[in-house]
Structure 1
Amino acid sequence: MKFFTHYTCVRQSYCLNKLLLIMKLTLLLIVALNFQLFAAGYAQSRVSLDLKSVDFKRVASEVEKKTKYRFLFGEFKIPTKRFDVVNAQNEEVLTLVTRLLEGTSFTYRHLENDLIVIVPKITENLRALITGKVLDETGQPMVGVTIKIKGVEKGGSITDANGAFRIDAPGNAVLTIAYIGYITQEIVVGGQETLTIRLKPSAGNLTDVVVVGYGTQRKSDVTGAISSVNSSVITRAATTDATGALQGQTPGAVVVKNVGKPGSGYSVSIRGTSSFTGANSPLLVIDGIPTTSGLNDINPADIEKMDVLKDASATAIYGSRGAKGVVIITTKRGKAGKTTITYDGYLGSRRPNNLPEFFDATEYRTFLEEQYLRGRGATAAVLNALPSYASSNTFTDWPGLVQQNGLQMNHNLAVSGGDDKTRFSFGAGLLREEGNVSPEDFKRYSFRGSIDRTINNTFKAGISFYANQNLQNLGSSEALRSAYRLPATISPNDAAGNPVFRVLGADGVTNPLFDQLNDLRENRNYRMFGNLYLQVDPLKNISFRTSLSPNFYRSRNGTFFDIESKEGAGNGSYRAGTYTTGEQLTLVWTNQLTYERTFNNVHKITATAVSSVQNDRSETGSISAYNLPFRSLWYNLGSATNTDPNGTFRGPTVTSNYVRFNLVSNVARVNYSFRDKYLLTVSGTADGSSRLSEGNKWGFFPSASLAWRASEETFIKNISAISNLKFRLSYGKSGNDRVNPYDTQATLGSSSYYFGSILALGYSPNRLANQNLTWETTKEINFGIDFGFFNNRISGSVDMYDRKIDNIIGNRPLPPPAGFSSVLDNLGKLRNRGLEVGLNTINLKLGKFTWMSDFVLDINSNKVLETANGQKDDLGSLLFIGHPVLVNYDYEFEGIWQTSEAALAASYGQRPGQVRVKDRDGNGVINTNDRQIIGKRIPSWTGSFGNTFKYGNLDLYVLLYTRQGEQFNSSFDGGFKNYNQVYNQLKVDYWTATNPSQTNFQPGNPGPFVNAIYYQKTNFLRVNNVTLGYTFPKKLVEKVRLSSVRIYATANNPLLFTDYQGFDPEWASQNTYGTAISTSTYLFGLNIGI
């Protein structure tokens, strides 16, 4: 067990057990606190009284003392009736108030936070003009706030540029004041004619708006499984790729950091593995523009929120593109009100972390002697034949020569504002992320903007655009690996102090300092996308919107290997370069018609019809040239002679490609609500894809979902402990057409041959057509519960799902007589079942101190139901019926053969010190029949536990993240723990005659089953994020003409607990073998609002 911190843990496994114990106790404390709140909440909804000769005000005072309820009386509007006796035995407070007000001219309104407002009974016909102003939490006027009379569909008012409104309402009316992103308030008029209302920002309440695809819904009205992450969470994560903000925050989404090079980003899968090949990327929809290329091009500071659509009822509206989940990204737009300018930036250091320990010079010499002793016999001649560097007195820290602390900085400037007619938002960003191995580097320049215009009551129009440039220097793929492979006994310089290229002589490992200078890889990517829309509201309740969304991407990538680099030496010691270009243009034209109406304040219907056409075109080209006469990198490949050192002409390699496809989608969806309690959503999507063959181009993907808001029922409303309770049930079907556009057609390949003495070009089939290839489909049933207790002090959701994937697209193996090795076909079935839990709690509120927690658990079970062989296992593809799709099928490691077991080892043809594997059938012979499933390469469960502590203006957030149940054959172990080479090795306890290790074999004596020792569990627990911030008091910042100032410090990945031997267990599956290292980042940030 590794425990990476600033102090030493002697008993490392004890440290992890202690940490897990602390987590369990913390969770137990949270549960205990909240159950105590439950008991208290239940008790405080009832009251017992025995009073004599009292008025109503005295009764109210006694109730306030004994319960959580508070009373509010209008001026001169206190019931004067006296009561001879008031007797109540464990009576509901609201029932008591109703009883006491009977026969009076008063009634009451029960508002949020258990506030009881006593108001006079006023007839409906007595109306008055009510004026007022709506302010935000800072006291600034709010524009565009909606004011309506509760229960009345028609009419209402909207605040103007000064936050003012006017509305004609009955004296006993209740006004609802609503604005996106703020808590909806209900105000009892109670005869008042002038109101001043302050709205507070929402914190995940039921009035939050969720993007559901071609529309939005209140969170309380959602019937599918959808999770959301807002801008504050994205900003706090301080990642260069917004996908990283989903890690540990979204049940059902497994987010994995790619190899630790700058700008490498993240990958995400939703609800398990859904293919045989491991392609699980969800559809990304950025401001209505579909893409699967990831979010590394998008500045996280430009994102307002991300909504993750998980179940098939939510994703089915995207038809053929939604089978693997959908992530909808909404960028920031302008809001009516005062023009604001904001700055958000941080500066910090990216540092190597979790570095494995290798042999130092002394330990390496001992190891090398062991290897030679075992492999060649313990003679004096053999020991004298050790390489000269084995006895060298040199102590070189090779990793230290190439590793560095990298600079990380991010600067974002934004301006937004507008009025009730025009709203605008613009932003610019600059990011730089230096790598931990020079010259690795990543830079991103971004600019965005949006303008929305309300032309009149009928027409609205708007435009949004986004542009960015990414510059990525990947550096050398060999420098870091070579630095860890080189023994500390070797110097980078010769006796004269000159750098040496081949420090190990003729061996393949070269001086990594040369690779850093001469092995170059650069990517330059440009992306521009936008959305232009026009919305027409021709009739009441009817809206039509048409939009055009272009998405343009261009890449310019180059590689160069000079003579003195490992790659250059491998190419025959001459310079080589490759230049690759690519362009992609996607156009999406969408037309949407929406009808929305409420009947009798009971039935609410929203019907949506969408027609969308997507056209995608891409071009790529590449040229590779050899034997460049000078260091021209890849900018002057025309100067290459294209001959090897022997003068043989190799010729430049030139490739090009052009791809085009279309997708047509027709969507219909109906949302129905009865009394805001019973909810139904039905949708159907018909997609036509040019990727598939004639007769299979069209697919239909229906879905239906139901929800019951039980907390709106009268018999539950009176249970004060329940703030929200909703049950959801859904079923849906979605598709997948992610094959290359021409994969259903046969293609020809060219090859050259000599016809006599003439070089001729010929063509032959290189791919077999499959005109029967059809849609891969996903059918899913989902049951979910959304809940909130004690005024949402405990809130969250639980989802259980069963997802079945049919007609999985993959390559079906063919027998040799077919002339082709495989054909693309529909060849199997998978099932994913799982449980998702998201829990948020307010554990403690004491004066200025608040402690809140968030907990996420994701359990997934994956099984193969059918392979290309039907109900039989497919051993060639390692697919086994009833087991996960990604398994390790090999011999099971049983330790190391010991000296006392020499006779038994000999019966298996082995010796002490060698790797021992399990004789599964016990027949005394180890053969392929002894191979078995020994692990899986997908997690059994992931989880996170976050805690927020606030005291006044000071806040602290700590997020723990864990992933459990995976096992990988470690290329890191295989490369750095093989003991058969002269390279340096991982510092481990290897077997010798005097040190009978059971975990690592004897140097030079691995035996025939050494691969079995390289399987490692990659379970880990990580401190993912620690952020400490301070928000300056508003009165103080206003003195310098600012609206807000916040400073913060963030640490990402500061601690890691794992048994994995390697840089980072999170990306163990990527077989990096020392090409990148894991890192921690330490940042200091500043937010300013003007």
Structure 2
Amino acid sequence: MPGTSRTIIHFSLPANVGKQKRKDFKLKIIHKNMEKYQEWGFLSPKIRRIMKLTLAFTLLCIIHISANTYAQTTQVSVDVKNGTFYDVVKQVEKQSEYLFFYNSKDIPNDLPVSLQKTKSNITVILDYLVEKYDLSYKIDDRQIFLTKNAVVQQQQGKRITGIVKDPNGEPIIGANVMEKGTTNGVVTDIDGKFMLTVSEKAVVQISYIGYLGQDISVGSRTDFSIILKEDSQNLEEVVVVGYGTQKKATLTGAVSNIGNEELVKTRNENVKNMISGKIAGVRVVQKSGEPGSYNTDMQIRGMGAPLVIIDGVPRTNMDRLDPNEIESFTVLKDASAAIYGVKAANGVVIITTKKGTSSKLTLEYNGSVGWQQASNIPETLNAADWMELTNENSINKGGSLMFSAEDIDAYRKGLKPETKWSDVGFDKIAPQTQHSISAQGKSEKIDYFLNFGYMKQDGFYSSGDLNYERYNVRANINGQITKNLKVGMQLNAMMGTKNEPVMDAWEIYKAAWMHIPTLPVYANNNPAYLQQLPGAYHPLALTDADISGYRKNQQKLFQGTFTLDYTVPFIKGLNVGAMYSYDYDNSDNRLSRKEYTLYEYDSASDIYQPYKAYSPSLIQRSYGKVERTLLQLRLNYERTFNEDHNLKILALYEETTNRSDNFAAQRDLPMDAVDQIFAGSTTNQQATMNTDPKVFFDMANKAFVGRINYDYKSKYLAEFSFRYDGSSKFAKGSQWGFFPAFLAAWRVSEESFFKNTDALSFINNVKLRATYGILGDDDASTYQFLSGYSYPNGGYIFDNSYISGLGFRGMANPNITWYEAHTADIGLDIDMWNGLLSFQGDIFSRNRKNLLSTRVLSVPGTLGSALPQENLNGDLTRGFDLSLSHTNTIGDFRYMISANMSYFRTMNKYVERAESNNSYRNWRDNNNDRYSDYYWGYDFIDYFQNMGQIWSAPIQDNKGNSILRPGDYIYEDWNEDGIIDDNDVRPIELSGDPRINFGFTLAGTYKGFDVNLLFQGAAKGTVVNQVQMERPLTWDRGGLSMFMDRWHTAEMGADPKDPNTEWIPGYYPSTNNGGETTNYWTSTRSVQHVNYLRLKSVEVGYTLPQHWMQKVGIQNLRLYLNAYNLFTLTGLKYVDPEHPSDSYSCLYPITKTYNVGVNVTF
């Protein structure tokens, strides 16, 4: 039929089909209307996994019954009158489990068929077809291969043979092998082999959907081995979205996803850290390398923490998942997230865990051992330098020298011992290990995925008392109960235990920064007596649980999800389902603080003076639990009308409950030997609860959800979704909110004018997208619409008994409700040169209204009551994100380059404030329609060079410049009133998190070797240094060696205010940690730029040849070396640029890690 095209769809079948190896089959799918065919590129490599899930029960029946038995026992009936070849095939496939494989061009469309057979053997039907259409056939199991008889050509031409493989060396079944310019051709058999007779100077074309075609000149050769390159457009890839899946080609929203293979190229105990730098618009900030801290933030487009959905359920344990159980990681960045309504204002992350896909039992082991190395540890002052700075500090404060030149020289020459406290109690490296073993499989009625994971990570304490251990168990099981009914069960359990000494790690590291290097570790260097130190913060004691005590925090998590899925047989395209989930999270924490003794040695009396620390000993126990339930009822309808109009409808009801409870008890311990509550003293016992609404809550939500997807020929795409959400946090009348979204896309490349333009032939796909939606957030404190009392709240002692009292809760707000985020996005997707280059770009905005805040500035201080939150403020975020990728294969070398970047900035639309009578204060305090990311401070001009310059300068110390000295900072008199004061403060620099975030990946494979490099970085961020990073000798203790580059007098002890004193310039001002100096005002001098580029991960692997491994029963074996956080380029000193402002910049250090691992599949 002229003008028609044929439909060929490829499916990937399980591994043990036919000769027990993975095969790809070409399945002929016949449309009801034969006048219209369309070629769909269904099988990109990624979509195969999804197709295995959705079609496995139909296809797996091929596996278990031998061909002879099935052919002998199966009978089919055919009743076709004046029909076509395709009518016969369709009736046979409908009644049986046979699948037909053939070349479309071998079947004449104008040759009618009339065949009536009742309960006949399949060979009877085939004999009729091959005779009528001049074909031959072969039955292999339940696959029927039909090939054209080309007797004349075979007699006159040249016979060639060959095999067609994919890039992994696996044979491709059903690939088209055609002599160019003729109808002479065959399809490859079950081993990927072919035999064809061609003319002497023939060019043979090999093609297979999902792969790039090849033209081969025959020449004098007669045998060929052809490897087809994958077509990386992957437009038919299935992507997980809210409450369902969509093909990548028909996505309308800004949706990004990565699979497990890309995820695990970065090795880390925290899944959040494994996606850093891989997805445009997603920023991940690792704030600590401390074992078990899981202190990592994740933001989408600078908009705060996203909602995380794991296997369809909102959950909070993303960072503690075993990465080997994750199938895909999807990010909804725009209005596509609106279907999650009240929780989706910051975007949505959807994680899908693995399911059984292999037709036989497959065991897989992933294991690695490695070590961590602390990075960016600050270099502290040695004893001589510390003594010099201490002398300068004393002189600058008007005091005298604390140490003589002889004393300093003795330490500098090593004649007296000194202590480098950053080495006391700390190791340079620490071990870590991670293992998982999984079993998965699939049969006609059931599929399963089972996984057990284990990881352990030690800390850098020499005592070995800091470590974290985690166990993960998962079971995903799905069963086909009847033809139309499926059930599923997903069970997940996790137990994590963190052991550590009693003091927080960041405080211990701070102590190591600050201790005085002239003090010894042991009093009189006697190991039996720990030296008394300021604050009793002795690193050797604080890092050893046997000395100072311990904390043991244990978390146990159970999650169960149960699903029903029913295909309604009497309404085509209708499916109904239900899901129920129950999550239980339990924390059990124990703290045992031990009293210990430090000493000072008196050489005159030879006495060790004791000082008690952590007195008295005590024991604490605390428990907490969180229970969450979700009930979901779902209806899906999906139909195609007239072959061109595709419609999908979702209707869903959902309700959730969230409840928590907690309890804590504490007693003093008369003796440390029994670390139990019952052994404690009752004289100072405490029993408490944490009543913070984020910890102690009882809440419920309900929602009605709907979505309609429509597309015309996969060319014009439209989606409308809504969510009608209700929350128990708010009063009646304010509990419900409506959150709609509108999404549309146009695949320009599907238009005839585009396809017929030769100049655009290199472009395979162009799609324009536009979305708008309203999202919500109910992150408000609970039940603020209720008035009442707090209990207990203070109290009094009556008759030697303490009686708790009631306290007024504060004013109620019956009108409080969630804020809304109005989000808009315009996007462009382009794929070029058959997947060699792909681009995705989006510009976006988010306008938040009714942000929660407390009215504190515009009410009088005499109000006399605590105010509730109100829906007061608003802001606007704008930005863009881009991603670009290039994939190519050159011979045996396959490489991939990808890059992504994002930019955002937020402006305040309205911020509650009080009016002032001062015009400057009104201008300064008015944040409306002003960017929110500015530091306010002074303009640094230069250093004062001499006292004469100081005396003539504007007054900046409020004391006639009497406290200033050479080397101090000169600030601009911005309002030119002759005084440097608060009225000279103005916006001086961008503040806060980087506005630009980026990442790029370089990867390649060659003959079993593979390498992957991930770079990640950020720019346009700033930080103002905290105390330790801007002042030497903080709190009159130790400091950092960088402060030696400072202004100081040429002669130690010289008068700093004498105009004749000679000064040596440096980067920092002269040493003065006192409160009177002006050098530590926020200024352009104190703001540092947070720009960095980090080699986030490197992995090099080698996969042993399969023919070696199969001899010992191993399907696949890969060895690899991996490094994480290998190096960082940045201008910041001693501060990790990912989290430069946290906890005085002395958190537990970010670590470099090195791993050796193996991946084995049986």
Aligned residue number for residue 98 of structure 2: 166
Aligned residue number for residue 587 of structure 2: 555
What SS is found at the alignment partner of 1:237? Answer: coil
2:863 maps to 1:863: no
List gaps (5 residues or longer) in structure 1: 1-103, 113-129, 275-279, 644-649
Aligned residue number for residue 318 of structure 1: 340
Q: CA deviation at 1:1051?
A: 0.6
2:915 maps to 1:881: no
Q: Cα deviation per residue 1:847-895 (whole Å; 9 max; x = unaligned)?
A: 2223321101011111111112399999999882344435433344445
Asked if structure 2 preserves the Cα contact closer than 8 Å seen for 1:344 and 1:1088, the reply is yes
Q: Alignment partner for residue 288 of structure 1, among 300, 312, 317?
A: 312
Aligned residue number for residue 304 of structure 1: 327
Q: Alignment partner for residue 658 of structure 2, among 611, 616, 624?
A: 616
2:693 maps to 1:693: no
2:783 maps to 1:745: no
Higher mean displacement: 869-878 or 798-807: 869-878
Q: Cα deviation per residue 1:222-241 (whole Å; 9 max; x = unaligned)?
A: 10111101101221111111
Structure 1 CA distance, aligned partners of 2:415 and 2:869? 57
Aligned residue number for residue 1064 of structure 2: 995
- Alpha carbons of 1:212 and 1:397: their partners in 2 closer, same or farther (altered >3 Å)? same
* Equivalences for residues 266-415 of structure 1 within 5 A: 267-274=296-303, 280-291=304-315, 293-312=316-335, 314-378=336-400, 393-404=416-427, 405-415=429-439
Structure 2 CA distance, aligned partners of 1:521 and 1:876? 50
Q: CA deviation at 1:480?
A: 2.1
Aligned residue number for residue 1114 of structure 2: 1042
Asked if structure 2 preserves the Cα contact closer than 8 Å seen for 1:350 and 1:408, the reply is yes
Q: Alignment partner for residue 453 of structure 1, among 465, 475, 479?
A: 479
Q: CA deviation at 1:904?
A: 3.5
* Equivalences for residues 477-488 of structure 1 within 5 A: 477=504, 478-488=507-517
Q: CA deviation at 1:1011?
A: 4.2
Structure 1 CA distance, aligned partners of 2:973 and 2:347? 43
Structure 2 CA distance, aligned partners of 1:871 and 1:801? 34
Asked if structure 1 preserves the Cα contact closer than 8 Å seen for 2:549 and 2:592, the reply is yes
Q: CA deviation at 1:268?
A: 4.1
Structure 2 CA distance, aligned partners of 1:456 and 1:174? 39
Task: Letter of the 2:616 partner, please give it.
Answer: Y
Q: Alignment partner for residue 606 of structure 1, among 608, 633, 648?
A: 648
Q: Alignment partner for residue 573 of structure 1, among 609, 615, 637?
A: 615
* Equivalences for residues 394-793 of structure 1 within 5 A: 394-404=417-427, 405-437=429-461, 438-475=464-501, 476-477=503-504, 478-495=507-524, 497-504=526-533, 509-517=537-545, 518-539=548-569, 540-564=572-596, 573-625=615-667, 627-631=668-672, 635-641=675-681, 650-655=684-689, 657=691, 658-718=696-756, 719-749=760-790, 750-754=793-797, 759-793=802-836
Asked if structure 2 preserves the Cα contact closer than 8 Å seen for 1:172 and 1:188, the reply is no
Q: CA deviation at 1:703?
A: 0.5
Q: CA deviation at 1:444?
A: 0.7
Task: Letter of the 1:836 partner, please give it.
Answer: D
Q: CA deviation at 1:730?
A: 0.6
* Equivalences for residues 871-910 of structure 1 within 5 A: 880-899=927-946, 901-904=949-952, 907-908=955-956, 909=961, 910=963
Q: CA deviation at 1:384?
A: 10
Task: Letter of the 1:364 partner, please give it.
Answer: W
Q: CA deviation at 1:742?
A: 2.4
Structure 1 CA distance, aligned partners of 2:175 and 2:21? 18
Q: CA deviation at 1:329?
A: 0.7
What SS is found at the alignment partner of 2:882? Answer: strand
Aligned residue number for residue 1083 of structure 1: 1155
Aligned residue number for residue 29 of structure 2: 149
Q: Cα deviation per residue 1:373-423 (whole Å; 9 max; x = unaligned)?
A: 333445699889999999981132321222221111101000101123211
Asked if structure 2 preserves the Cα contact closer than 8 Å seen for 1:716 and 1:722, the reply is no
Q: CA deviation at 1:281?
A: 1.5
- Alpha carbons of 1:632 and 1:465: their partners in 2 closer, same or farther (altered >3 Å)? farther
Asked if structure 2 preserves the Cα contact closer than 8 Å seen for 1:306 and 1:328, the reply is yes
Asked if structure 2 preserves the Cα contact closer than 8 Å seen for 1:348 and 1:409, the reply is yes
* Equivalences for residues 20-419 of structure 1 within 5 A: 140=20, 147-149=27-29, 151-152=31-32, 158-162=58-62, 166-167=98-99, 172=104, 196=190, 205-265=234-294, 267-274=296-303, 280-291=304-315, 293-312=316-335, 314-378=336-400, 393-404=416-427, 405-419=429-443
TM-score, normalisation: structure 1 = 0.80
Q: CA deviation at 1:193?
A: 9.1
Aligned residue number for residue 161 of structure 2: none
Q: CA deviation at 1:301?
A: 1.2
Rg bigger for which structure?
2
- Aligned-residue sequence identity (percent) comes to 24
- Alpha carbons of 1:1042 and 1:851: their partners in 2 closer, same or farther (altered >3 Å)? same
Aligned residue number for residue 10 of structure 1: none
Q: Cα deviation per residue 1:539-589 (whole Å; 9 max; x = unaligned)?
A: 3210001111111100012333322389x9998732233322111111101
Task: Letter of the 2:514 partner, please give it.
Answer: R
- Alpha carbons of 1:602 and 1:734: their partners in 2 closer, same or farther (altered >3 Å)? same
> Alignment length, in residue pairs?
950
Structure 2 CA distance, aligned partners of 1:556 and 1:262? 18
Cα RMSD, aligned residues only: 3.8
Higher mean displacement: 572-581 or 540-549: 572-581
Q: Cα deviation per residue 1:236-263 (whole Å; 9 max; x = unaligned)?
A: 1111111112211111111111222112
Structure 2 CA distance, aligned partners of 1:620 and 1:875? 46
Q: CA deviation at 1:743?
A: 3.2
Asked if structure 2 preserves the Cα contact closer than 8 Å seen for 1:210 and 1:228, the reply is yes
- Alpha carbons of 1:172 and 1:146: their partners in 2 closer, same or farther (altered >3 Å)? closer
Q: CA deviation at 1:810?
A: 2.4
List gaps (5 residues or longer) in structure 2: 38-54, 68-96, 108-142, 146-165, 193-209, 212-229, 599-609, 1050-1062
- Alpha carbons of 1:309 and 1:787: their partners in 2 closer, same or farther (altered >3 Å)? same
Q: CA deviation at 1:487?
A: 3.0
Asked if structure 2 preserves the Cα contact closer than 8 Å seen for 1:374 and 1:1004, the reply is no
- Alpha carbons of 1:524 and 1:976: their partners in 2 closer, same or farther (altered >3 Å)? farther
Q: Cα deviation per residue 1:10-35 (whole Å; 9 max; x = unaligned)?
A: xxxxxxxxxxxxxxxxxxxxxxxxxx
Task: Letter of the 1:482 partner, please give it.
Answer: A
Task: Letter of the 1:820 partner, please give it.
Answer: S
Task: Letter of the 2:499 partner, please give it.
Answer: N
Structure 2 CA distance, aligned partners of 1:252 and 1:348? 31
Task: Letter of the 2:383 partner, please give it.
Answer: A
Q: CA deviation at 1:466?
A: 0.5
Asked if structure 1 preserves the Cα contact closer than 8 Å seen for 2:1028 and 2:1034, the reply is no
Asked if structure 2 preserves the Cα contact closer than 8 Å seen for 1:721 and 1:790, the reply is yes
What SS is found at the alignment partner of 1:480? Answer: helix
Q: CA deviation at 1:206?
A: 1.4
Q: CA deviation at 1:537?
A: 0.8
Structure 2 CA distance, aligned partners of 1:695 and 1:460? 40
Asked if structure 2 preserves the Cα contact closer than 8 Å seen for 1:337 and 1:417, the reply is yes
Structure 1 CA distance, aligned partners of 2:616 and 2:375? 36
What SS is found at the alignment partner of 2:950? Answer: helix
Structure 2 CA distance, aligned partners of 1:415 and 1:443? 23
- Alpha carbons of 1:563 and 1:440: their partners in 2 closer, same or farther (altered >3 Å)? same
What SS is found at the alignment partner of 1:817? Answer: coil
- Alpha carbons of 1:569 and 1:921: their partners in 2 closer, same or farther (altered >3 Å)? farther
Structure 1 CA distance, aligned partners of 2:844 and 2:1073? 51
Asked if structure 2 preserves the Cα contact closer than 8 Å seen for 1:963 and 1:1019, the reply is yes
Structure 2 CA distance, aligned partners of 1:875 and 1:1047? 65
